[in-house]
Amino acid sequence: MSCAVDSVRDPFNNSWKTLRFPNIKPSELLLLFLKAGLAASTFFLITLVFHLTLSYSQPHYHNNNHTSVKYVVQPQKTTQEQPPANISHLFFGIGGSVATWDTRRQYSELWWRPGVTRGFVWLDRHPGNSTWPETSPPYKVSGNTSAFNYTCSYGSRSAIRIARIVKESFELGVENVRWFVMGDDDTVFFTDNLVMVLSKYDHNEMYYVGGNSESVEQDVIHFYTMAFGGGGFAISYPLAKELVRILDGCIDRYAEFYGSDQKIQSCISEIGVQVTKEPGFHQVDIHGSPYGLLASHPVVPLVSLHHLDYVDPIFPNMTRVEAVRKLMTTYETDSGRALQKSFCYDLRRNWSVSVSWGYSVEIYPSLRTVKELEMAFQTFRTWRSWSDGPFTFNTRPVSSDPCEKPVVYMLDRVLNVGGNKTRSIYRRHRDSSGNVCAREDYVRVSVVQYVDVYAPHLISEAWKKAPRRQCCEIMNGSDGMDKNVISVKMRGCHRFESVTPP
Ligand SMILES: *[C@@H]1O[C@H](CO)[C@@H](O)[C@H](O)[C@H]1NC(C)=O
Ligand SMILES: *[C@@H]1O[C@H](CO)[C@@H](O)[C@H](O)[C@H]1NC(C)=O
Ligand SMILES: *[C@@H]1O[C@H](CO)[C@@H](O)[C@H](O)[C@H]1NC(C)=O
Ligand SMILES: *[C@@H]1O[C@H](CO)[C@@H](O)[C@H](O)[C@H]1NC(C)=O
Ligand SMILES: *[C@@H]1O[C@H](CO)[C@@H](O)[C@H](O)[C@H]1NC(C)=O
Ligand SMILES: *[C@@H]1O[C@H](CO)[C@@H](O)[C@H](O)[C@H]1NC(C)=O
Ligand SMILES: *[C@@H]1O[C@H](CO)[C@@H](O)[C@H](O)[C@H]1NC(C)=O
Ligand SMILES: *[C@@H]1O[C@H](CO)[C@@H](O)[C@H](O)[C@H]1NC(C)=O
Ligand SMILES: *[C@@H]1O[C@H](CO)[C@@H](O)[C@H](O)[C@H]1NC(C)=O
């Protein structure tokens, strides 16, 4: 009797959980009982029916692998019982290579916090006998991928190795990981914001979080359904667990796809999980000046930037890395507010002021609509073909007439001024053309050399509410004593407040 039951129980392994229910009909199971000449006891029959019902009601019955079913059966804590997510619940997998690490590590080291952030940079081979920098993430050497197929004529086989980082990271079996976060060696993560954004989602469910490319041509060639790898993406633990099971087979099935991120998305698609798009992840698939992109950030926390070696330095007159370091210090002063926009009118002078906190301020000597102010200046071209678009967001052209452009101020420095408030100072920026508008209304603006922005720390609770742009007001007296400076206060909007010209 027990033998017969075991033959049912144990087609693969010694556990009920291994039953391939989709392939074995209940009638066949009954037949097995009969074949074994059993007078099946009611007890066993009931047990069997019970387990059948139970297993069919499990959402993961399609898994024929006991390891994945096991996790479903495991009791799961509800989110209420769990402490809030912090940086140690993230496990990073950075796609690197020995040849590029020495230059790219400048970007990783901007955000990597030794002893705090967890994860590895994955290399193509051992880095030799030179000392590995202590400021770098620790490294691991990826497994041999020569057995896998790669048939994309214009791509690189390294895509296979990078795609497998999520699997190799998972298989390290590190404790207390809620999210596996993948990125490139030139991805800059804003980790506090990343934690804040990911904590919106229940890490006990299967989530795949990331963003698209800014260049439509890239989304067409690759996929709109995909989280682009350079901008980085996060895979929750339960999704990683299902993904690693099918990943290797999947990599061969999608051998013709160019990128590691395409292969990952294809495999996740087989599981049926969809990308959850978060617009704070930035692939930065553009060429030229990133000014327009950064000065019109969507109303979400800044999570990542990528490709910073392929665009102009984000602040003028600095090296690329120094410029990113400057943005990092801004972000460290008030992470939630970095790049957040705010528009206000100075009705005594009929000026429009547009703040992009921690980055730039624009002043127009006229009252412009919010719809105009919120649209990105197209200071860049598309990634692949260097075209004028299209992009996945609306852009407005940059006029060559200086009287059509705002007067621009770039961040000089940010200070904490106590009471959880910051003061950020922006200095008048003269563009390289040297052209200035001689019209009287412009000249009055051009007298202003500095914009002083006061703001309370944007607490993370604000990001748990429906997204709303911050409001601002021009502070009284700022045109009195010192015509060189105007002061602006950023704050949450009041009820029934809107930026509406009189
Ligand atoms: C089940 O998972 C184990 C460990 O991950 C793996 O070795 C095995 O090949 C998997 N079996 C199937 C049928 O996918
Ligand atoms: C993160 O939260 C865990 C509890 O889940 C705690 O043990 C750990 O100390 C926290 N880490 C940090 C860096 O706050
Ligand atoms: C690495 O080892 C080789 C020989 O084993 C030696 O010639 C070389 O100087 C070493 N390099 C460093 C950076 O230690
Ligand atoms: C990878 O595996 C192949 C055989 O599958 C072998 O020929 C090759 O030498 C291996 N490469 C490394 C770096 O171990
Ligand atoms: C790899 O490609 C070769 C040639 O197209 C094919 O014969 C082989 O079956 C493929 N291997 C896998 C694992 O798909
Ligand atoms: C650029 O930086 C250098 C040195 O930091 C400084 O001397 C120069 O005035 C700066 N140029 C501009 C246009 O700000
Ligand atoms: C501001 O504009 C309004 C209407 O456009 C006009 O009536 C008013 O005189 C202007 N004020 C100043 C200070 O220019
Ligand atoms: C700053 O914020 C923290 C936490 O939000 C709060 O505990 C503290 O009292 C605040 N400090 C001041 C001076 O307002
Ligand atoms: C500026 O002064 C006006 C009245 O004189 C007042 O209504 C307004 O609230 C003041 N604004 C600020 C930012 O202090």
Give me the amino acid identity at 474.
I
**pLDDT, tens digit, 9 for 90 and up, residues 207-256:** 999 999 999 999 999 999 999 999 999 999 999 999 999 999 999 999 99
Instruction: Give, using CA atoms, the residue closest to atom 10 of ligand 9.
Output: 476
Length of the chain: 502
Nearest ligand by distance to the CA of 417: 8
Look up residue 222 and give its two tokens: 């690759």
Ligand lying nearest the CA atom of residue 322: 6
- pTM, two decimal places: 0.82
Q: Which residue has the tokens 């993948």?
A: 182
Ligand 4 site, CB within 6 A: 144, 146-147
Q: Is the pLDDT of residue 55 over 70?
A: no
pLDDT of residue 480: 55
- For the chain, the distance separating the N- and C-terminal CA atoms, rounded to the nearest angstrom, is 87
Per-residue pLDDT for 422 more than 70?
Answer: yes
List ligand 2's pocket residues with C-beta within 6 A.
83, 86-88
Q: What is the DSSP string of 414-479?
A: EEEEETTEEEEEEEEE--TT-----SHHHHHHHT--EEEEEEE---GGGGGS---PEEEEEPTTTT
| Ligand located closest to 148 CA | 5
Question: pLDDT grade, residue 434 (50/70/90)?
Answer: confident
DSSP category for residue 311:
B
The pLDDT of residue 460: 80
Where are the domain boundaries for CATH 3.90.550.50 in the chain? 87-283
Helix, strand, or coil (residue 316)? coil
**Shortest-distance atom of ligand 1 to CA 246:** 14
Residue having the nearest C-alpha atom to atom 2 of ligand 9: 476
DSSP 58: S
Instruction: Give, using CA atoms, the residue closest to atom 1 of ligand 3.
Output: 129
Model confidence over 467-486: pLDDT tens digits?
Answer: 999 999 999 765 555 679 99
2 vs 440, more confident: 440
Is residue 245 within 6 Å of ligand 1 at its C-beta? yes
* Domain range 87-283, its CATH number among 3.90.550.50, 3.40.120.10, 3.40.50.880, 3.40.50.150: 3.90.550.50
Q: At what angle do helices 98-111 and 320-333 cross, to 10 degrees?
A: 30
**Average pLDDT for 175-189:** 97
CA-nearest residue, atom 8 of ligand 4:
146
Residue having the nearest C-alpha atom to atom 12 of ligand 1: 65
Residue 398: pLDDT over 70 = yes
**At residue 435, does pLDDT exceed 70?**
yes
Task: Dig out the tokens for 142 from the structure.
Answer: 């990826």
Pocket of ligand 8, candidates 420, 457, 459: which has the most ligand atoms within 8 Å of its Cβ, to mutate? Answer: 420
Backbone angles phi, psi at 485, to 5 degrees: -125, 140
CA dihedral (76, 82, 85, 88) in degrees, to 10, reads: -80
- Residue of 88, 113, 116, 175 best suited for mutating to test ligand 2, as the one with most atoms within 8 Å of CB: 88
Q: Which atom of ligand 2 is nearest to the CA of 176?
A: 5
Ligand nearest to the CA of 346: 7
Which residue owns the Cα nearest ligand 4 atom 10?
A: 144
Instruction: Looking at the CA of residue 82, tell me the nearest atom of ligand 2.
Output: 5
Nearest CA to ligand 4 atom 7: 146
Query: Does 176 score more than 50 pLDDT?
Result: yes
pLDDT in tens, 293-336: 999 999 999 999 999 999 999 999 999 999 999 999 999 999 99
